[in-house]
Chains A and B, each alone.
Chain A
Amino acid sequence: GNSVTQMEGPVTLSEEAFLTINCTYTATGYPSLFWYVQYPGEGLQLLLKATKADDKGSNKGFEATYRKETTSFHLEKGSVQVSDSAVYFCALTRYSSASKIIFGSGTRLSIRP
């Protein structure tokens, strides 16, 4: 079946450090891939997405590239800020309905000033 595996947290970094949160997936066909973020006290929000192989999603300085050959969608940011502290969820869907989104288990990121 379809599934998403992401690195376990928590991840703690210093401000301005480079960030990578690994995400790999298992799916038949060609899923769309997403990163969602949940800031403290807020709901999940879509951070970025990629809908086909080699697409790069980007937003707020974060990037992730859809790698079909390695079934990965790693999240990266060159210089993190304290305000990036949140829980990040990798997700996929093969369908257009939000009822079919498969989420990973989340990675908590904490950034030290």
Chain B
Amino acid sequence: EAGVTQFPSHSVIEKGQTVTLRCDPISGHDNLYWYRRVMGKEIKFLLHFVKESKQDESGMPNNRFLAERTGGTYSTLKVQPAELEDSGVYFCASSQDGRGVYEKLFFGSGTQLSVL
């Protein structure tokens, strides 16, 4: 069974440019989460999809970030325009159940974003 896959693994862009990160969850997982770790600090929740609907987007930092999950399969996270403080590692995770089963929460290896 394929795990959670994220593309690209690394991205280096200049301030003001646009970057789109992609996450392919495990097949059949309705729940998809985005997190990020900025400047080597704590990992913070960004948002949660249930199928194609945004269940919780309380962690999205500002309107430069746009997440989509068309068709309830893969998800994209677009940063436009990127700022220096957006640099960090962006993690995606998926689960079949939305509640209480942390053993069944699967993370991707992350996208390292560097904004210069």
Contacts and interface: CB of A to CB of B under 8 A. Distances in A.
Interface of A: 4, 32, 34, 38, 41-46, 49, 89, 96-106
The size class of the interface chain B forms with chain A is 20 to 34
Nearest to A98: B105
Given A97-B48, A98-B93, A99-B48, A34 B102 contact: yes
Given A98-B95, A98-B98, A99-B45, 8 more contacts: A4-B42, A32-B102, A46-B103, A97-B48, A97-B98, A97-B99, A99-B33, A103-B43
A103 B98 contact: no
A105 B102 contact: no
7 contacts: A38-B107, A42-B109, A43-B109, A44-B43, A46-B105, A99-B48, A103-B42
Interface string B20-61: 000000000001010101001111110110000001101100
